[in-house]
Structure 1
Amino acid sequence: MIPRAEFWNNVVADLRMAASFVTILPVASPKPAADGAVARATWALPLAGLLVGLAGAFVYKAAIRFGLTPNLAALLALATTALITGALHEDGLADTADGLGGGRTRERKLEIMRDSRIGTYGVCALILSFGLRWSALAAIADPLLVAFALCAAHTAARAGVPAFMALVPPARPDGLSASAGSPPGRSVAIAFALGALALALASGPGKALVGLILLSLAGLLLARLAVRQIGGQTGDILGAFEQIGEILILLVAASFRMGG
């Protein structure tokens, strides 16, 4: 049995590693990143996402308090979340769209995804991502409901990443995803539970169920597409999965809001 002090030290180290993995915050963990440490720490990715969502919610609330419209406040909130994450997930979405949409062979698709330049597919994907999320937040409008939606979206969108990494093999042996390793079942289960809890607390069990179903279907479709086209997942694919998750949760929140 692990001593209590060591247990909490490991928890804090995992939290810091997860935050440093998906944000630009200077919270790098002293825990070595080798020997599967990153994969084990993936259970904390939803909590790192919660921090991002809270930052976006704070900026949205502040913008409304200063008299800005929901449209402008939503844009500032999205800019904040992109800044905190270093646009890591947006970059993954753009590279995924360019690679899967532009290459003819597996090798060419992977080559495009590693190219730092952005193509037409990537630009279109980013426009759609920002446009859909911005429209959803502006439609929700109420600062408290926006806060719930942002926190739920950023938490739940990252909750499925460990499962995706565990179930879909890496497409290349030397990529970011391959070096991170495959998350153990415990990390997958904890991350999923955190995501489900965030959805339930933010929107109630009914909306949470809808969100979980949509996230699962999106993950299955993206996994099948990635395996068929490039042989598995990469860090870019994981970023695209996170972005799709954000979009779906925010759209669900907006649709229920508009439907009363």
Structure 2
Amino acid sequence: MREETVTLRREWQAFWLAVGFVSRIPMLVKVDYSQRLMNQSSVYFPLVGLLLGGLYVGLYSLLELWWTPLIAVLLVVGFHLWITGAFHEDGLADSADGLGGGYTVARRLEIMKDSRIGTYGTAALVMVLLLKVALLTTVSPVWLGLLLAPAVSRLTPLCLMRWLPYVTDPDTSKSKPVAEGFSRQRLMVAAVGVAVLALAFQVALAALISIALVALVWGTMLKKSLGGYTGDTLGASVVLSELVFLLLLAV
């Protein structure tokens, strides 16, 4: 088999592995799983976000025929939580509990591994979901926020993975295979893809600010509080980037 064919086959599998990692969408191809392939799949996270955004737009367009925009957005957000398994929202809640309730790095990491949700996590989750619904009903057109926010926001964790060290128990972390070996070249490919998308829809400034601001502020906080990032904090960065991006679109 030619090298180009092998490379294309590996990238095709990496894409579907990314789909399966961040959503409940069934993988339509057989994937020869390896840690290397999991590393490679990270570059497709923004593309998977765009795929999810397309589903949200299609569902919203149907729901809007029968209900008000507010009800339609609420149902779409509910669908989002189901199709993604609330993957990133869970990371946000765990991060809020750990950073808010721990006084040492070890204690913060211990709290973040606890499957139970605490006061900080509950408050953060409720506020984030309320704000997201409010912003989506304010953005005009609504479909723009639904389509682009999931794609733009998924570049932020790739930046954090490249610039910060990984700090957690490697034997219990789902994100370890993603975190290890993420190359600068694949980050640039993902960044160029998001830039082209943002330019095409004339939201490049909002995309740049949301990614850079969250990566800088959240990344600095993680460096100070944990010494690096965990899988939960990567998920939180997606949610935070979505909110900042939607805030800028709603201005």
Question: RMSD of aligned C-alpha atoms?
Answer: 1.6
Paired with 1:179 and 1:8, the residues of 2 have a C-alpha distance of 21
Paired with 2:157 and 2:246, the residues of 1 have a C-alpha distance of 18
Q: CA deviation at 1:149?
A: 1.7
Deviations 1:158-184 (A, max 9, x none): 122222111111112413333321311
Asked if structure 1 preserves the Cα contact closer than 8 Å seen for 2:90 and 2:235, the reply is: yes
Q: CA deviation at 1:115?
A: 0.4
Which residue of 239, 247, 252 corresponds with 2:243? Answer: 247
2:220 is the alignment partner of 1:221: no
Asked if structure 2 preserves the Cα contact closer than 8 Å seen for 1:94 and 1:121, the reply is: yes
Paired with 2:30 and 2:127, the residues of 1 have a C-alpha distance of 34
- Within 5 A, what are the aligned runs for 1:117-132? 117-132=116-131
Stretch deviating more after TM superposition (167-176 or 216-225): 167-176
Secondary structure in structure 1 of the residue aligned to 2:175: helix
Q: CA deviation at 1:29?
A: 5.3
- Within 5 A, what are the aligned runs for 1:98-109? 98-109=97-108
- Within 5 A, what are the aligned runs for 1:1-260? 3-27=3-27, 30-34=31-35, 36-66=36-66, 68-140=67-139, 145-174=141-170, 175-180=173-178, 181-202=180-201, 204=202, 207-255=203-251
Asked if structure 1 preserves the Cα contact closer than 8 Å seen for 2:42 and 2:158, the reply is: yes
Stretch deviating more after TM superposition (235-244 or 122-131): 122-131
Q: 1:191 to 1:159 in 2, by over 3 A?
A: same
Asked if structure 2 preserves the Cα contact closer than 8 Å seen for 1:152 and 1:195, the reply is: no
Q: Give the counterpart letter for 2:147 in structure 1.
A: C
Deviations 1:87-106 (A, max 9, x none): 00000000000000111111
Q: CA deviation at 1:198?
A: 2.1
Deviations 1:40-77 (A, max 9, x none): 221111111111111111121111112x1111111111
Stretch deviating more after TM superposition (236-245 or 179-188): 179-188
Runs of 4+ in structure 1 deviating by more than 6 angstroms, as ranges, are: none
Calculate percent identity across the aligned residue pairs. Answer: 32
Q: TM-score, normalised by structure 1?
A: 0.89
Q: CA deviation at 1:247?
A: 0.9
Paired with 2:111 and 2:69, the residues of 1 have a C-alpha distance of 37
Q: Give the counterpart letter for 1:114 in structure 2.
A: K
Asked if structure 2 preserves the Cα contact closer than 8 Å seen for 1:46 and 1:158, the reply is: yes
Q: Give the counterpart letter for 1:179 in structure 2.
A: P
Asked if structure 2 preserves the Cα contact closer than 8 Å seen for 1:98 and 1:121, the reply is: yes
Stretch deviating more after TM superposition (120-129 or 84-93): 120-129
Stretch deviating more after TM superposition (100-109 or 51-60): 51-60
Gaps of 5+ in 2: none
Asked if structure 2 preserves the Cα contact closer than 8 Å seen for 1:150 and 1:250, the reply is: no
Q: Give the counterpart letter for 1:17 in structure 2.
A: L
Q: TM-score, normalised by structure 2?
A: 0.92
Paired with 1:83 and 1:237, the residues of 2 have a C-alpha distance of 20
Asked if structure 1 preserves the Cα contact closer than 8 Å seen for 2:195 and 2:204, the reply is: yes
Paired with 2:45 and 2:34, the residues of 1 have a C-alpha distance of 15
Paired with 1:198 and 1:149, the residues of 2 have a C-alpha distance of 13
Q: 1:98 to 1:37 in 2, by over 3 A?
A: same
Paired with 1:200 and 1:129, the residues of 2 have a C-alpha distance of 27
Paired with 1:182 and 1:11, the residues of 2 have a C-alpha distance of 16
Alignment-derived partner of residue 258 in structure 1: none
Secondary structure in structure 1 of the residue aligned to 2:61: helix
Q: CA deviation at 1:231?
A: 1.6
